[in-house]
Structure 1
Amino acid sequence: MFSRLVPLLFAALLTLSACGDGGPDEGTQAAGIAVADAWVKATDADMSAAFMVLSNSAEKDATVVGVTTDLTDSAELHETKDDMMRPVDSFTIPSMDSLMLEPGGDHVMLMDLADPIEPGQEITFTLEFDDGSTFDVTATAKDFAGGDEDYEGGKGHEDHEDLEDHEGH
C-alpha cells in the first residue's frame, strides 16, 4: 500500500509547487515589472554600478524606492545630471513603458564593496517599491570601460566627496 502512495504523494507535491510562480503578488507595483539586460561592472575597486532596463506592464506607474544586495550594505539609486552623480530617493517606471538604467544616466550605485566583482559573476538585487512590494533581479558582471565616469576623490559625485581614489563604474 505504501509503495502505491509514494508516487501519488510525489505527484501531488509537484502539482502544489507548480501553483505559485514565486513572483510578486498580483496587484502590487512589482507584479508589472520585467527586467532585461541586467549587468554589473566588474571591478576590483570598492565601488561599482548596476544597469538594466526596467519595464512596467501595469496601468499605473511603479516607483522604486530602494535596492538591497548581498554585495554591500551601501547600495543606492543614483542619477547623473549635468555631469554630476548623486543619490535620488526613487526611480519611476512609467505605466506601459520602460526605464533604462545605464552608464552616464540613472543606475544602481554599489559602494563599500568588500570583495572584487569578477566578470561572469551572478549578482542578485532586490528592488523595493513604494507600496512595499519587492522584485528580485539577477545581473551578470562584465568588463566595461565606458561611461566616461571617474570617482577619484569624489569628483563628479556630489554627495560622496569623502570617497577616495575610485575607478569609474
Structure 2
Amino acid sequence: MNIRTTLLATAAAVLLAGCGAATPAAEPAPAASASASAEAAPAQPLTITDPWVKAAEDGMTAAFGTLVNHTDSPITVVGATSPLSSKIELHEVVESGDKTVMQQKQGGFVVPARGSHELAPGGDHIMLMDVQEEVKPGAEIPFTLIVEGGPDLEFTAVGKDFAGAEEDYHADMEH
C-alpha cells in the first residue's frame, strides 16, 4: 500500500509539474487571444446565423435564420434576391379572423441596434414565389438581402426538410 501511495503521489507531482510548466508558456496567450477576438469580429454590419430554406419541389418556399446587427443603429432589410426565384417578398404571419395568414411586411425587417431579428416558420420570413427549380435537402441557395443604406448581405442558405407553417398567402392583404 505504501508503494501504491508513493506511485500515486509521484504521478500527481508529475502531472502538476507538467501543468505548472505549461503556465509560463501560456502567459503570452492573452495577447494572441485578443487579436483572435478582433479577427472574429464580423466585417459586415449585418450577418445571418443558421440560414436555411424549406425543401420544395416548385412553387413557393421560404428562407429562415436569425439576422444579427453588429452596429449601434437599427438596420432595415427592405428586400431580397436569389437566383432561385425572380419574385421574392419579405413576409410576416398575422392573425386574420380565425386564420393565420402571411402577407408582405410593410417597411421590411428592422433589426435593432446590437440585437437580432428571427426569421422562422410561422413568423417573419423571406418568401420565394414562382420557384422553378426543386430545393432538395442539402442544396446550397445563394441570397442577397437588400439593406436600406447598404451594404447588402450575401449568404448561402441550406435546403432542409420541414413540415408545417402552411399558412395561407393573402396577396390582397398587401399594403
Q: Report the alpha carbon displacement of residue 63 of structure 1 after superposing the two structures with TM.
A: 0.3
Query: Deviation above 2 Å: which 4+ runs of structure 1?
Result: none
Q: How many residues align?
A: 128
Of 67, 73, 76, which residue of structure 2 is paired with 1:63?
76
Q: Report the alpha carbon displacement of residue 133 of structure 1 after superposing the two structures with TM.
A: 2.1
Q: Report the alpha carbon displacement of residue 142 of structure 1 after superposing the two structures with TM.
A: 0.7
- Kindly provide the amino acid, as one letter, of the partner of residue 85 in structure 1: M
TM-score for both structures, normalised by structure 1: 0.71
SS of 2:171's partner is coil
Separation in 1 of the partners of 2:163 and 2:110?
Answer: 28
Structure 1 counterpart of 2:49: 36
- Pair 1:74–1:160, CA change in 2 (3 A): farther
Query: Which structure: greater helix fraction?
Result: 2
Query: 2:117 aligned with 1:99, yes or no?
Result: yes
Q: Report the alpha carbon displacement of residue 160 of structure 1 after superposing the two structures with TM.
A: 6.2
Q: Report the alpha carbon displacement of residue 117 of structure 1 after superposing the two structures with TM.
A: 0.7
Deviations 1:61-109 (CA, angstroms, capped at 9, x unpaired): 0000010000111011000011120012411000011000000000000
Structure 1 counterpart of 2:102: 85
Query: 2:169 aligned with 1:157, yes or no?
Result: yes
Root-mean-square deviation (CA), in Å?
Answer: 2.0
Separation in 2 of the partners of 1:133 and 1:35?
Answer: 14
SS of 1:127's partner is strand
SS of 2:131's partner is coil
The structure that has the greater radius of gyration is 2
Structure 1 counterpart of 2:126: 108
Q: Report the alpha carbon displacement of residue 33 of structure 1 after superposing the two structures with TM.
A: 1.1
Q: Report the alpha carbon displacement of residue 138 of structure 1 after superposing the two structures with TM.
A: 0.7
> Unpaired runs of 5+ in structure 2?
1-41
